[in-house]
Amino acid sequence: MAYQDPKYVDFSLYLVTDSTSAILRDRDLVEVVEAAIEGGVTIVQYRDKVSDTAALVSTAKKLHNVTRKHQVPLLINDRIDVALAVGCEGVHIGQDDLDLTSARRLLGKEAIIGVTVTTIAEAQKACKDGANYLGIGTVFATPTKTNTKDIIGTAGTKEILAAIAKEGSHVATVCIGGINASNVQRVMYQSSSPEKGLDGVAIVSAIVAAKDPKHASQELLKLVKGNPPFN
Ligand code: TZP
Ligand code: MG
């Protein structure tokens, strides 16, 4: 399934999609995603809570054509069946989705599987069960996802990173929720400890809803890779 060893995936700027027309400004999702990749997005998750299965597979195939062209991994949110149908690189699952062990059994050891974690216990379990990366959050409250369990802030993110580092885990980590150009460096800096830092940030609206998704991605990537001014 995967063309890229999960160990070498670049999580620096992780684009998570949203299919509501308001956030897309009625633009074509596939075009927005391609522009974002041209701007520097390093990995894409197709997250679509509204389309039916046939539409999900159809859009996922179009997205995969684009991500393959640019050699960027494509993951599907929630839906193992859609990932299998499309043959993309993996999935992202939450605490209420099919469990990681079953997802791994279905997708195989090459697939990239990420898990949303909000607590230290969830993070420890995901590491033990073989997640390739953790999506930590929600960091800040966001209109994009209002049914989140907890807002953990950068302090909560740091606690999770420290706990898994203590257990010697080398799992990749990104955080998600309310991250944009004005806070991304603070998020990277404040979440990290000497033991373990974030590998990147996962972002929906600051890219998808941006007037110019390519430019927004260029700016975000520069900030993620640069040294924070207050360092
Ligand atoms: N999971 C936790 S917050 C969130 C998801 C999918 C949405 C993040 O969206 P945004 O627009 O980057 O705040
Ligand atoms: Mg889910």
Return the ligand number nearest the Cα of 78: 2
Q: Could you identify the atom of ligand 1 that is nearest to the CA of residue 178?
A: 13
- Give the ipTM of the model, two decimals please: 0.98
Q: Which of 218, 231, 229, 131 lies closest to 172 in space, CA to CA?
A: 131
| Cβ-Cβ contacts under 8 Å for 57 (sequence gap 6 or more) | 82, 85, 86
pLDDT 10s digits, 96-147: 999 999 999 999 999 999 999 999 999 999 999 999 999 999 999 999 998 8
Residue 175 alpha carbon to ligand 1 centre in Å: 9
Q: Could you identify the atom of ligand 1 that is nearest to the CA of residue 204?
A: 12
pLDDT 10s digits, 209-227: 999 999 999 999 999 998 7
**Encoding tokens for residue 71?**
């050699």
Residue 194 alpha carbon to ligand 2 centre in Å: 31
